[in-house]
Structure 1
């Protein structure tokens, strides 16, 4: 391991056998955290070649189990988002795509920090469960067409160890490590096609579009090199997506989209990703908008919720306390930065600081206006929800400077929601 550390420290490249040995030895505990931390820092500072990133990804896949959906008799396609504020797209997207007869195995995670987790949102629904056996997953993909559930511990266990190490060593931002982390799990999952939603802007993991593009291309290359048809959309996360941030309220908004309504930006991104997924699955002319307005996607949603023990007609949790912020003047809502709103929702109880924390499903924020909308003095701008009113003060502190009302001439519109496609 010392030889490998010296090679990467001195900007050298590691061979396939060296990377295979390193990941296997780290997974078994022969290579310790202190040595792997040094390697992670060397990778952050000196990078990796495309072949090194591919070898690292394949070695992490080989550290555990892999899944295979060939017996389904359906094309499989998945989507992965790098996460953001108000990003509830998986909820309407999975049933929409599954309603076209393809299989959508969405192995999802929980939120940490200001980015929400898909499983946390769905657990707002009474009875719904995230943990399924492999047999249950296969049966549901056959019968319903889609599943959203927790990934098993057996998939890419090397990534689980390395992910935790990166978090405490200042190496989270290393693009080779991000790309191999995401793609090792997605390739091990066994899907035949994959669409990546890579965010940029205030609320994104990578705020700079150039860095997001670099990450997206690295992941697209990894997927295609591994035989998974892969493409990526670069999407804007400067402002929150939709009008809700939290868990139960994001489920409510997703149901509005499935019913043919909902905020324009959520609908736009849902349709864009659905079209991309179905094109990779061999249906480039699918009428995804029609499947929303006809109720076909909603029917698949209800079957999906029932299949995982949930009650699709149950009332969603409601917070015990609320606090509304009103406009102090008239004009136009000039700004609405995603990151501060995400942090505020986290402080209200919608997110977690540690993996063991519990989320408050009813906590969050409802936005009454979007950037660019006209504002009248005294009009509600947004409402905070929590079970404990003492949380409002710190949430409001996070929002200081995150929004502004001013003259229409001062408003600067953003570019398109979907900035680029990479393949």
Structure 2
């Protein structure tokens, strides 16, 4: 067996690692016998030289087996489904999709993480709900299927924001509004498409359109909202607070944290909203405390933005287009300028009106 430095050199020089060599690398990471700089060097070599399909399958398998492997009751056979994403600005899909799938009779583990980028991850969003306890006990389509997991993928547009809100508490509010049947179209398209795809893959529906309708009915009809309320209560949220959050006319900020300050930014000219740069918004929010730079950093759940315009919308100079929620200290003039630069206006024209399609392509298991 080659030493760790030899394994790094082998991959750096374009060699294919054997099953045993990959297993040795993963074991050295999990038992902490490898230096951090060596781990980084190996990952860099893998990034630069790539891996064969066989290497990818083995690496994924060894990573999976390196931690706690969960098992499910036999009566759950064919009912356990899950969804994961590369993320995005305002990515709140899981908070709507999971209860919708549960309302359709499925079991959704939702092994989620915290955010280490511009804004919080799924767990950070959930923790913006007072009392929510996430500490509960127990990309490749070909790779998942090779390991016995029926796997599909959806490629979607991610250059803008998902929905209209970015920031943990604001995104939770938008999810609750969606579960009450009042969500933005792009978020609902992602939820129904991903959910419909999962239902088709399990064989409970004959085609994607039937699956999308079943997920949509679970959301619009209120069954998914009931599941979300039950989920909150099971994970530590006070029952009265959970009920209030899910009621029709609730004051969300009687329960969720609200930022100390809110300001609205105005459009600099007349025109059509051609683009809103989601990453630009996220980078400013990160600096204002909505995300973390390293593991262990705290996240301010109240920091965020709410879009007040839609793509293709005609606006007049001076109209409010963005509502910024922030704490002390106030955003700098440069940060305000960055936020303003995220908005692109164009002349009034029919070509500026975007299509609603967010999901661009589906990759289905063979």
Of 40, 46, 50, the match for 2:49: 46
Matched residue of 1:404: which SS? strand
Q: CA deviation at 1:111?
A: 1.2
Q: CA deviation at 1:45?
A: 1.7
User: Where do 5+ consecutive residues of structure 1 fail to align?
Assistant: 135-215
Measured in 2, the distance between the counterparts of 1:402 and 1:124 equals 26
Of 224, 231, 235, the match for 1:308: 235
Q: Is the 8 A contact 1:322 1:389 kept in 2?
A: no
Alignment of 1:237-252 (within 5 A): 237-252=158-173
The yes-or-no answer on 1:375 pairing with 2:302 is: no
- Report the counterpart of residue 278 of structure 1 in structure 2: 199
- Report the counterpart of residue 226 of structure 2 in structure 1: 299
Q: Is the 8 A contact 2:119 2:292 kept in 1?
A: no
Count the aligned residue pairs: 340
Q: CA deviation at 1:414?
A: 6.5
TM-score by length of 2: 0.87
Q: Is the 8 A contact 1:85 1:116 kept in 2?
A: no
Of 338, 341, 350, the match for 1:401: 341
Higher strand share: 1
* Stretches (4+) displaced over 4 A: none
Measured in 2, the distance between the counterparts of 1:394 and 1:108 equals 34
Q: What are the superposed Cα offsets for residues 63-101 of structure 1, whole Å, 9 maximum, x if unpaired?
A: 232111134535100000111101111111100011011
Q: CA deviation at 1:403?
A: 0.9
- Report the counterpart of residue 135 of structure 2 in structure 1: 131
The yes-or-no answer on 1:122 pairing with 2:126 is: yes
Measured in 2, the distance between the counterparts of 1:238 and 1:95 equals 26
Matched residue of 1:280: which SS? helix
Of 261, 268, 274, the match for 1:321: 261
- Report the counterpart of residue 181 of structure 1 in structure 2: none
Matched residue of 2:152: which SS? strand
Q: CA deviation at 1:62?
A: 2.6
Measured in 2, the distance between the counterparts of 1:10 and 1:324 equals 54
Q: What are the superposed Cα offsets for residues 301-339 of structure 1, whole Å, 9 maximum, x if unpaired?
A: 111111111132253221110111012322211210110
Q: Would the alpha carbon gap of residues 81 and 337 (structure 1) be closer, same or farther in structure 2, given more than 3 Å must change?
A: same
User: Where do 5+ consecutive residues of structure 2 fail to align?
Assistant: 246-254
- Report the counterpart of residue 39 of structure 2 in structure 1: 36
Q: Would the alpha carbon gap of residues 45 and 403 (structure 1) be closer, same or farther in structure 2, given more than 3 Å must change?
A: same
TM-score by length of 1: 0.76
